[in-house]
């Protein structure tokens, strides 16, 4: 998945995107009145931010017997794993495998089942007189051709062989671009002789228009919109007859195109009045047919061309039952190989994860043991420090107490002589008193 100005772009089926599984085609009978049932077909596509658009047909899907071209367009929004569509005469509840149709009173009218169609010309083998342009092994038949890692041809290339009249078969896969709309959604095109564009576009679940998939771009709308959902392989079979010119270089007959989209004829021997807007000018000379680069990752495979001057087989070519079975067998073998590779990768990833967890556990145990040893050492050192501090404090206290005792003793010893000296004047006081007592007697005389 990539992201850009057009929103997310998926070139493979998204595993976790919730809207993609609800897209697709659904068909079934519904009760139209008390007696009759009508076949109703529904095409629904995601258009970003969990919103959906749908188109409803009566009689069947485009290209099926009984299909009627009148349409009803519906809109809806996803809630959890279903979408409720409205805008028609009844409500449609869309889930992954089917739709429930109810009238306005909530009465059940019928169910539509999911269908996954496949083009009748898918895997068409090239006739003996065809030139195989691309089979997933090389881009030698293209100018500036590029191939993806899984063997698909990329857009933006030209076919080297140049032929006047030819039959061209190709298979293409559109990207899933849910937030892109109109011409920004899976756009490419096949420019016949570099002049006339057969449009390639994700126009699934929309009305047929003059610039939609299968259109002769901006000139003629396809008879039916046969576009399938994105990420499904589709087919384009194009029978091209070049314009005719006289000796003086004047056009005497326009180019003609007959085309089939997904095995259904959508353009029948249409004469083109001139080149597409971006096409090269009309001239008698031949130009290469190109696969347009419109910036979207459209992919191609099984591309071959037949010079109609040499053609001997009918066109388009539809593969036989045996050829389809052979292709399916190859496809199944590829799936099995990929499954085994995925299982191997899963085992290797599991083993790697187990080793990482074991190593992580070992490191954690070593760390815990180291932390425990460090803690025990710290505790021992702390206890020793506290013991030393206690002993030091006791020693200092004893020394202080001893010093205080010695000081007190010294002070006591030094205080004794002073006490004796102070006692002598106390003994002389009585004599002084007698002397004093005589003075009043003398005074009386």
According to DSSP, the β-strands at 244-245 and 251-253 are antiparallel
Residue 427 has pLDDT above 90, yes or no: no
**pLDDT tens by residue, 255-296:** 999 999 999 999 999 999 999 988 999 999 999 999 999 899
Confirm if 293 and 238 have CB atoms less than 8 A apart.
no
pLDDT of residue 438: 47
Which domains are delineated in the chain? 2-115 (2.40.128), 130-319 (2.60.120.560)
Residue 428 has pLDDT above 70, yes or no: no
**At 429, is the pLDDT very low, low, confident or very high (cuts 50, 70, 90)?**
low
The whole-angstrom separation of Cα 368 and Cα 196 is 75
**Average predicted confidence (pLDDT) for the chain:** 88
Single out the residue of 178, 230, 175, 151 nearest to residue 10, CA to CA. Answer: 175
List the single range of 30-39, 306-315, 396-405 with lowest mean pLDDT.
306-315
Residue 243 has pLDDT above 70, yes or no: yes
**At 325, is the pLDDT very low, low, confident or very high (cuts 50, 70, 90)?**
confident
Averaged over 4-12, what is the pLDDT? Answer: 85
Single out the residue of 224, 194, 187, 197 nearest to residue 71, CA to CA. Answer: 224
**pLDDT tens by residue, 130-169:** 999 999 999 999 999 999 999 999 999 999 999 999 999 9
Residue 444 has pLDDT above 50, yes or no: no
Residue 442 has pLDDT above 80, yes or no: no
pLDDT of residue 405: 87
Residue 436 has pLDDT above 70, yes or no: no
Bond from prior residue into 316 cis (ω within 30 degrees of 0): yes
The whole-angstrom separation of Cα 388 and Cα 243 is 110
Neighbouring residues of 155: CB distance < 8 A, sequence distance ≥ 6: 188, 291, 292, 293, 294, 296, 297, 298, 299, 300
- Of the two residues 425 and 280, the one the predictor is more confident about is 280
End-to-end CA gap in the chain? 145
**pLDDT tens by residue, 92-108:** 999 999 999 998 888 99
């Amino acid at each position: 998945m990539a992201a850009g100005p057009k929103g997310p772009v998926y070139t493979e089926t998204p595993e976790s995107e919730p809207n993609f599984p609800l897209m697709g085609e659904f068909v079934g009978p519904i009760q139209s009145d008390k007696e009759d049932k009508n076949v109703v077909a529904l095409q629904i596509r995601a258009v970003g931010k969990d919103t959906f658009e749908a188109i409803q047909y009566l009689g069947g899907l485009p290209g099926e017997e009984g299909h009627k071209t009148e349409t009803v367009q519906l809109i809806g929004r996803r809630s959890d794993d279903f979408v409720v569509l409205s805008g028609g005469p009844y409500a449609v509840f869309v889930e992954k495998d089917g739709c429930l149709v109810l009238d306005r009173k909530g009465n059940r009218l019928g169910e539509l089942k999911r269908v996954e169609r496949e083009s009748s010309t898918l895997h068409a083998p090239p006739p003996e007189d065809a030139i195989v342009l691309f089979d997933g092994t090389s881009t030698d038949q293209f100018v500036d051709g590029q191939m993806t890692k899984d063997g698909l041809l990329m857009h933006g290339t030209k076919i080297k062989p140049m032929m006047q009249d030819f039959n061209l078969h190709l298979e293409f896969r559109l990207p899933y671009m849910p937030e892109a709309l109109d011409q920004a959604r899976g756009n490419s095109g096949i420019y016949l002789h570099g002049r006339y564009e057969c449009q390639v576009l994700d126009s699934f679940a929309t009305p047929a228009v003059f610039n939609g998939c299968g259109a002769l771009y901006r000139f003629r709308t396809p008879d039916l919109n046969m576009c399938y959902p994105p990420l499904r392989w589709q087919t384009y079979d194009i029978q091209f007859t070049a314009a005719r010119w006289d000796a003086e270089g004047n056009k005497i007959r326009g180019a003609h195109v007959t085309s089939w989209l997904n095995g259904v004829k959508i353009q029948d021997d249409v004469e083109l009045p001139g080149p597409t807007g971006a096409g090269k000018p009309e001239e008698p000379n031949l130009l290469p047919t190109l696969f347009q680069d419109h910036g979207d990752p459209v992919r191609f495979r099984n591309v071959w061309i037949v010079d109609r001057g040499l053609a001997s087989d009918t066109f388009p070519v539809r593969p036989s039952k045996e050829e389809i079975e052979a292709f399916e067998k190859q496809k199944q073998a590829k799936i099995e190989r990929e499954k085994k590779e995925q299982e191997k990768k899963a085992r290797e990833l599991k083993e790697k994860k187990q080793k990482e967890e074991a190593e992580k556990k070992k490191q954690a145990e070593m760390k815990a043991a180291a932390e425990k040893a460090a803690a025990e050492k710290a505790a021992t050192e702390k206890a020793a420090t506290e013991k030393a501090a206690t002993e030091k404090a006791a020693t200092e206290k004893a020394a202080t107490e001893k010093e205080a005792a010695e000081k007190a003793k010294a002070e006591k010893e030094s205080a004794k002589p002073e006490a004796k000296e102070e006692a002598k004047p106390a003994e002389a006081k009585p004599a002084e008193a007698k002397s004093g007592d005589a003075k009043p007697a003398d005074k009386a005389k």
